[in-house]
Amino acid sequence: MRRVVFNQKGGVGKSTITVNLAALSAAAGRRTLVVDLDPQGNTTHYLGGGGPEPKPGVGDFFEQTLGFRLFKDDPARFVHPTAFERLHLLPAGPGMDALQPRLESHHKIYKLRDLLRGLEGFDEVWIDTPPSLGFFTLAAMIAADRCLIPFDCDAFSRRALVSLLESVEEVRADHNPGLAVEGVVVNMFQARASLPQRLVEELVSDGLPVLRPFLSASVKVRESHQAFRPLVHLAPAHKLTGEFRQLHATLQRPARGARKGKARAMLEA
């Protein structure tokens, strides 16, 4: 299963959600790959410990696709183990922003899908994306089976959801008919505040596939970033870790294809 975590708004927790759900997959015994397509490289930093030596990654792979070479590098060259068992990383790297216009003009939008299909032995792939609907995000949605949409309980995010779902539906119609919206992940939720509760209730009333449990706001997330350790390894007994576990278990359940229909029904309403 290949999942993309996507929202055009920054600061909604894409990297945190990607890394922590992927870490739970690996901890559960599944060989797991995290792909960092955000030029900011937050996911790479989170899992890589901020190491000074950059490793071959997404940028190097796409750079290779722009030139003619009789023999291409083994796809596994761009994938690296992390400090956590069964958890691997295809890292972001410098120069990715500058690559985008060249990749677009040379129609390389399907190359990530081809790369992931060429990698063997991974049970799950989790893809982090930049906060924009550019080349790397489109490549991720073309390569993915499911899409998770983080929602940070903000009124601006609420208004942007319809546009976001339209973007996913357009990619599904034009490039990837197997892509489905798996659900909206409510992040940084404050149970005692009225605004987050009202906004989430509106999403449910609109028929959006809101996933449970909601992920609580917690300073433990920043501690996890600073320690370069996903929550399951940093604080396995913490409340937020438990919420991630429950959410991960929800995503492992079968028969989630109905999400595609719900998202489309909202767009047609």
Residue 264 has pLDDT above 60, yes or no: no
Closest CA to 35 of 75, 85, 95: 75
Least confident range from 156-160, 210-214, 227-231: namely 156-160
Dump pLDDT digits (tens) for 171-208.
999 999 999 999 999 999 998 899 999 999 999 999 99
Domain 5-268 has CATH 3.40.50.300: yes
Confidence of residue 55 (pLDDT cuts 50, 70, 90): confident
Closest CA to 252 of 260, 242, 244: 244
The reported pLDDT for the residue numbered 48 is 86
Is the bond into 236 cis (omega within 30 degrees of 0)? no
DSSP state of 78: G
Residue 74 has pLDDT above 50, yes or no: yes
Q: Give the residue-averaged pLDDT of 87-92.
A: 97
Residue 218 has pLDDT above 50, yes or no: yes
Closest CA to 19 of 264, 227, 268: 227
Residue 3 has pLDDT above 80, yes or no: yes
Give CA–CA dist 23/166, Å, rounded.
30
What does pTM read for this prediction?
A: 0.92
The mean pLDDT of the chain is: 90
How many Å separate Cα 125 from the centre of its chain? 9
Give CA–CA dist 214/191, Å, rounded.
9
Residue 39 has pLDDT above 70, yes or no: yes
Give the percent of the chain with pLDDT over 70.
91
Give CA–CA dist 176/179, Å, rounded.
6
The reported pLDDT for the residue numbered 262 is 47
Locate the domains of the chain by residue range.
5-268
